[in-house]
Amino acid sequence: MSPLFNDVFLKACRSEHVPYTPVWFMRQAGRYQAEYRSIREHYSFFEISRHPEVCAQVTRLPVEKLGVDAAILFADIMTPLKARGLKVEIVEGVGPVFDRPIRSGADVAHWKPLDPSQDLPYVLETVDLLHSQLDVPLIGFAGAPFTLASYLIEGGPSKNYHQTKAFMYAHPEDWAALMDDLSAMTLDYLLAQIHAGAQAVQLFDSWVGAVSEEDYRKSIAPAMNRIFSKLKETEAVTLYFATGAGHLLTEWNKLPVDVLSFDWRTSANDLRRLGITKAVQGNLDPALLLAPQNLLRARAQTLLDQFQDRPGYIFNLGHGVFPEVKEKTLRALADFVHTYTSQNKPE
Ligand code: 1CP
């Protein structure tokens, strides 16, 4: 590894002392960047993944343009499902759409297991390329079982996840089989990314906040426990993200995961009240990226002040960057996080 390698992000994930607060942004590669838009004129979303040089370039863009402390592999949570032969497309302005939503366990029974080196060689090649190109850590990622199941059952994005929860309640055995299948796939996919060179992995469980704490404990936590227990045997640090999931944080704190990542609905005081002991990541409302500069800066400063006495803290958004955001706003915010916290770090 190069002597200039910046491991501040990895140290913060392990709750070690850092010279400043590391920062990266969820969905930091995407439509708000002119270079990304021009690459998308030549390649569809999934075609980018199938061209390792192009995919590595898109992954590096935010590191080069924004000065963030970590890169996140350019792919989607649907990537492994598509590689298993499921028919899913990214529809402009909508998101992932499946042509045949699942209705029962019988729909899942004939799926073939994922073999990452056979089915996704181009993703692993991209990770390998990036490992030698980057001077910051690479975050690999996957969708968590509940969030993947929500797209598979609803057929696409949803507001209330009624069909997903109805499936969970009405067909508990099929649900358990679906969680088993998706957790095995997710684990194999993440292990392959780690072996190819990803130093961190984030599980995106964006929509799991739709379930109660009891349902989470009974019907989802066992799959998350299996995944994180196995990942713990590797060198990689692990992160777990969801929106609107403050009521699940006590359950999350029991999982063998390093970093909890949540949105603006949860505050540093809530963490104290709940006795959360792990490193944390978040949680600026991405809508503030469209607010006047002075308001954005003031809110970022408040966040940094609130979290700075925790052993591990990574500055991030509570959810992804919108396409309307200006690149220079993100650049200025990353600079501010670095300068403000290197001046104000307690010794
Ligand atoms: O061409 C395009 O610009 C399509 C937009 C797009 C992009 C840039 C999609 C479709 N996916 C992605 C890349 C992506 N997706 C990344 C890598 C880029 C980065 O972070 O820098 C990551 C980590 C994801 C993860 C992802 N995809 C999540 C979890 C994070 C989150 O935002 O909650 C989810 C839920 C998806 C599904 C998805 N894929 C694409 C869209 C627009 C969506 C969301 C749809 C919805 O609201 O349900």
Residue 159 burial (10 A CB sphere; 0-12, 13-18, 19+): exposed
Whether 198 contacts 127, CB under 8 Å? yes
Total residues belonging to the chain? 347
Strands (E), 50-208: 71-72, 88-91, 95-98, 138-143, 200-204
Which residues line the pocket of ligand 1, CB cutoff 6 A? 26-31, 40, 45, 72, 74, 76-77, 90, 95-96, 141, 157, 204, 206, 319-320
Tens-place pLDDT, residues 251-298: 999 999 999 999 999 999 999 999 998 999 999 999 999 999 999 999
Is 85 inside a domain boundary?
A: yes
Report CA(24)–ligand 1 centroid distance (Å). Answer: 16
The pLDDT value given to residue 245:
98
Is 2 inside a domain boundary?
A: no
The pLDDT value given to residue 308:
85
Q: Alpha-carbon distance 120 to 112, whole Å?
A: 14
Tens-place pLDDT, residues 195-208: 999 999 999 999 99
The pLDDT value given to residue 112:
92
Taking 50 as the pLDDT cut, the residues of the chain under it are none
CATH of the domain at 325: 3.20.20.210
Domain range for 72 is 8-344
Report CA(27)–ligand 1 centroid distance (Å). Answer: 7
Is 3 inside a domain boundary?
A: no
Q: Of residues 40, 84, 217, 310, which has the active-site annotation?
A: 40
Is 60 inside a domain boundary?
A: yes
Is 175 inside a domain boundary?
A: yes
Which among 25, 26, 27 is the best mutation to test ligand 1's pocket, defined by most ligand atoms within 8 Å of the CB?
27
Is 36 inside a domain boundary?
A: yes
Q: Alpha-carbon distance 238 to 260, whole Å?
A: 9
Is 1 inside a domain boundary?
A: no
> Does this model's pTM top 0.95?
yes
Report CA(335)–ligand 1 centroid distance (Å). Answer: 25
Is 137 inside a domain boundary?
A: yes
Q: How many domains does the chain have?
A: 1
